[in-house]
A and B are shown apart, each in its own frame.
Chain A
Amino acid sequence: QKEVEQNSGPLSVPEGAIASLNCTYSDRVSQSFFWYRQYSGKSPELIMSIYSNGDKEDGRFTAQLNKASQYVSLLIRDSQPSDSATYLCAVRFRANNLFFGTGTRLTVIP
């Protein structure tokens, strides 16, 4: 059973639209949640973290967490072609390491 699940996509949105990326995690004591962006051939880059239920906004990015539903999402407003990348959801459970999903590939069409 996978710890963290994401829709692999690809997800395509037009430039200026809202991109919505989703992630679910297994029924364990979960503590911290992260979204990473990974461009092709590059290493993951941390873009958002969230620890409490609700929304957290940072510029064009909003992370949403619902622990009861074991669900975390990332919204990207006013999507730009430069946002085209794979987005990785990561969850920290009891241990001090991260479990990653397989990633969702996002393409923003100019």
Chain B
Amino acid sequence: ETGVTQSPTHLIKTRGQQVTLRCSSQSGHNTVSWYQQALGQGPQFIFQYYREEENGRGNFPPRFSGLQFPNYSSELNVNALELDDSALYLCASSFRLLGDYGYTFGSGTRLTVV
């Protein structure tokens, strides 16, 4: 059984650019959630995907968008990057109907916007 994998591990982008982050879910998990964790803060919910459709969204602007593919892998896209987008981006997978088991997080992508 494989865990949740994210790529890349680190990324440096310039303000105004666009970025795509990738996540492969743990085997058998059909739900992917994305979180943003700024330095010294707890993870903030961005959105969740279930069976390729968005299934809930946090307080993030539309320039944060996502996709989930038939194999349950997922992408997070951020357009028009701002300095405040610098953070650790975490992907978590779960069984949607078994949310009580909590999430398995990937190792994260550290994004730095300069």
Residue numbers of A with Cβ under 8 A of B are: 4, 6, 8, 31-32, 34, 42-46, 49, 51, 88, 90, 92, 95-103
* A55 → chain B closest CB, angstroms: 18
A97 touches B42 (CB 8 A): no
Q: Please state if B100 and A31 are interface contacts (CB–CB under 8 Å).
A: yes
Chain B contact residue count (CB 8 A cutoff): 27
- Residue contact A102 to B42, C-beta cutoff 8 Å: yes
With both beta carbons as reference points, the residue of chain B lying nearest to A46 in the complex is identified as B102
From B14-22, B72-80, B105-113, the one touching the partner chain is B105-113
**B residues touching A (Cβ–Cβ < 8 Å)?**
31, 33, 35, 40-45, 48, 55-56, 58, 88, 90, 94, 96, 99-108
> For B45, what are the chain A residues with a Cβ–Cβ distance below 8 Å?
97-99
* Shortest beta-carbon distance from A52 to chain B in Å: 11
- Which one of B33, B96, B102 has the greatest number of beta carbons of chain A within 10 Å? B102
Give the chain A neighbours of B44 by CB distance below 8 A: 100
Interchain CB contact under 8 A, B99 and A96: yes
Point out the residues of chain A lying under 8 angstroms from B94, CB to CB.
Answer: 96
